[in-house]
Amino acid sequence: MIDTIIFDFDGTIIDTNFIIERGLNLFSRAYRGTRLSPKELEQLTGRPLFDQMAAIQPHRAEEMTDRFRKWYAQRHDELTQAFNGMDELFEDLRQLDFKLAIVTNNSREGVQMGLEHLGMNHLFQAVITCDDVLEKKPSPEGVHLALKLLNARPEEAIFIGDSSGDLIASRRAGVVNVLVGWSSIKRELLLTHQPDFIIEHPLELLEVVSLMEQQIA
């Protein structure tokens, strides 16, 4: 029986694609004098903030990380929102008594800011951030920790995300994965990781759960 759903956060629940792209290009222009190429943006998507800053200017990554966090906090509520259909999905999942978790490479401060902005603080029984693990995704450490906190087994869970790190981490943890069709990363790159399911709208996740239940039965 599927009773646990683990979500990535940025690019899966909350649409931070625009603010992240804008911020990365802003800091790239400021610290190296040029915008990022589309390929560079793809390569940086989903990576921890410090790693993103180090890719732009390795010798000033710590300073850039602090400045980016301040800039991000100032612009966050203006430039982010939940993806269309997420509110309805979480209402359905709540009524069906699913155990819900987030596993993200974002910081606890960043995730808390987003959850408060979306009014979703109360929905998740576990929130695992980069501050809670030694190894970030694609390591399965965060997924394992979420399962432990929710007292769930891998075969009882689904992981939904938008990046290669999500697909790799969930597979290493033995959890079925679902790729979102609204990822900002080129789909052909993500398909090389052979996601178990792909959905084009949040409410299609319930169809995946139903299909898996039928397969188990």
Rounded to an integer, what distance in angstroms lies between the CA atom of residue 164 and that of residue 45? 10
What pLDDT, on the 0 to 100 scale, is given for residue 105?
94
The pLDDT tens digits for 20-37 are 999 999 999 999 999 999
What backbone phi and psi angles, to 5 degrees, belong to 189? -70, -40
pLDDT value, residue 95:
96
Quick check: 31 and 64 in contact, CB under 8 A? yes
CATH 1.10.150 domain extents, the chain: 17-79
pLDDT at 217: 62
Q: List, for residues 135-166, the tens digit of each pLDDT value.
A: 999 999 999 999 999 999 999 999 999 999 99
Nearest residue to 103 via CA among 171, 7, 172: 7
Q: Write the class of the CATH domain 17-79.
A: mainly alpha
Separation CA 46–CA 44 (nearest Å): 6
Catalytic residue among 3, 8, 51, 131: 8
- Integer angstrom CA distances of residue 143 from 6, 10, 116: 8, 16, 23
**Structure token digits, residue 9:** 């956060």
- Our answer to whether residue 8 is catalytic in this structure is yes
pLDDT of the residue at 28: 98
The H or E element containing residue 4 is: strand 4-7
Name the CATH superfamily, with its identifier, for domain 4-15+81-216.
Answer: HAD superfamily/HAD-like (3.40.50.1000)
Contact 36, 24 (CB under 8 A): yes
Q: List per-block mean pLDDT (blocks of 10 residues) for the chain, which spans 217 residues.
A: 97 96 98 95 88 97 97 97 98 97 95 98 97 97 99 98 97 98 92 97 97 81
Question: Where are the CATH 3.40.50.1000 domain residues in the chain?
Answer: 4-15+81-216
CA distances from 209 to 102, 150, 171 (A): 18, 18, 17
